[in-house]
Amino acid sequence: MRILMLSWEYPPHVVGGLGKHVAELVPALGAQGVEVHLVTPRWANAKVEEHLEGAVIYRVNPPAMEMHNFYTSAWQTNLKLEDRGEHLWQELGGFDVIHSHDWLVAFAACALKRNFKTPLLSTIHATERGRSRGTLTSDMQQAINNAEWWLTYESWRVICCSGYMAYEVREFFQVPPDKVDVVPNGVDISRFEMWNGVDLTHFRNRYALPGEKIIFYVGRVVYEKGVHVLVEAVPRILKAYPQAKFVVAGTGDMLAQLQHRAWELGVAPKVLFTGFIPDEERDRLFKVADCAVFPSLYEPFGIVALEAMAAGAPVVVSEVGGLKEVVQHAETGITVYPNDVGSLTWGILHTLQHPQWTRTRVANARRKVIEEYNWTRIATRTSAIYQRIAQERAAADW
């Protein structure tokens, strides 16, 4: 089985859950004998070509990106992705399935599908309408929404990472239910197990005093992630639990605004905004955190919650989207009402003030991650979809 995969993100360029998903899925598929050829834009001076077990990564140099007209820049980049895909087709003799991740590579994926009469599988990680909470207010948002609809229409099958995302795809793009497969994201627990038995005291001291409890957020600092709700909750939490220390890791367009808001609330000394942190730093923070909090307003899946659970960090998440499928309230974590400062305050305080209950939830969460969200299982399910598509294509006229 030979797969041509297209993705806007791949290490070292990882912005969110999409990049993490592809980075873990590709080697997992390779380990199961699926031959994957991934074409992706070349960012951060990465290697032009990279060989893995069962996979090859090809990077193309994108044109200069214009953020004010990102849609057009993405389309121009797709011309290069398509050209590289065509050359691979001639070099290798073809592919069984084309696998596209989100709209950003849809133009190249759909062109290659038509040119070579090969079925297209798309994984939809998020939607523009979902990110904007149901409203498309700009021409660019409308264009992206149209590209997402077009990609799902052109696809033989569609993969979604959660039942919630499957609902969005069906509702927003009128995709038939029997065309959609739900395959969750996963997490590699070995990243966290390597720190078991390692004394992280000195590392922890960089972020908090010995007597303080760390409440940790990591992700984009943008409105949809609800970090502003966490900042507003800080004074209430400190009033009941003065030993709390808040660590907010990540960048985004709300970072400066939230830093200023922390000063307005008089809690700036208790809130550390780290900016971007490397993956290893993030993993160690999960290991030392007393509570990992993700107060999203919109979350298609919530892979960061899985990472926290795998690391053994107690989680508090908004009851939205895929998060409420990953985290079971009072069983594997605490779920709270979205965009509700009082509810988030309660969830964090409950986690800090009831350590025995919290330890039980942590144990349940880690067991669930190991059993249900491992990449071997996810790769097996993805491979089965490839096989199904290839068999159906062999029996069908184009």
Q: What is the CATH number of the domain that holds 224?
A: 3.40.50.2000
**295, 225 Cβ separation under 8 angstroms:** yes
Cis peptide before 300, with omega less than 30 degrees from 0? no
Residue 147 structural domain: 2-186+374-394
E strands, the chain, are 2-7, 35-41, 49-52, 55-60, 97-101, 120-124, 157-160, 180-182, 213-218, 244-249, 271-275, 291-294, 315-318, 334-336
Query: What gap in Å lies between CA 181 and CA 177, rounded to an integer?
Result: 9
Q: Is the pLDDT reported for residue 43 higher than 90?
A: no
Q: Is the pLDDT reported for residue 134 higher than 90?
A: no
Q: Are residues 294 and 197 in the same domain?
A: yes
Q: Are residues 145 and 223 in the same domain?
A: no
Tell me the average pLDDT across 287-302: 95
Phi-psi region of 93 (alpha: psi -120 to 50; beta: other; left: phi over 0): left
Tell me the average pLDDT across 211-239: 97
Q: Is the pLDDT reported for residue 181 higher than 80?
A: yes
User: What is the structure's pLDDT at 68?
Assistant: 75
**334, 351 Cβ separation under 8 angstroms:** yes
Q: Are residues 368 and 256 in the same domain?
A: yes
Secondary structure (DSSP) of 186-206: ---THHHHTTTT---HHHHHT
Q: Are residues 216 and 167 in the same domain?
A: no
Q: Are residues 89 and 68 in the same domain?
A: yes
pLDDT in tens, 50-94: 999 899 999 999 887 777 789 999 999 999 999 999 999 999 999
Q: Are residues 264 and 181 in the same domain?
A: no
Q: Are residues 145 and 209 in the same domain?
A: no
Q: Are residues 336 and 378 in the same domain?
A: no
**Total number of domains constituting the chain:** 2
Burial degree of 15 (CB within 10 A; 0-12, 13-18, 19+): exposed
Q: Are residues 251 and 224 in the same domain?
A: yes
**359, 95 Cβ separation under 8 angstroms:** no
State the average pLDDT for the chain: 96
Q: Is the pLDDT reported for residue 277 higher than 90?
A: yes
User: What is the structure's pLDDT at 350?
Assistant: 98
Q: Are residues 30 and 178 in the same domain?
A: yes
Q: Are residues 381 and 367 in the same domain?
A: no
Tell me which of 50-54, 152-156, 225-229, 235-239 is least confident: 50-54
Query: What gap in Å lies between CA 366 and CA 314, rounded to an integer?
Result: 10
Query: What gap in Å lies between CA 310 and CA 25, rounded to an integer?
Result: 17
Q: Are residues 382 and 299 in the same domain?
A: no
User: What is the structure's pLDDT at 142?
Assistant: 96
What tokens does 209 get?
A: 């005093």
What tokens does 257 get?
A: 């605004």
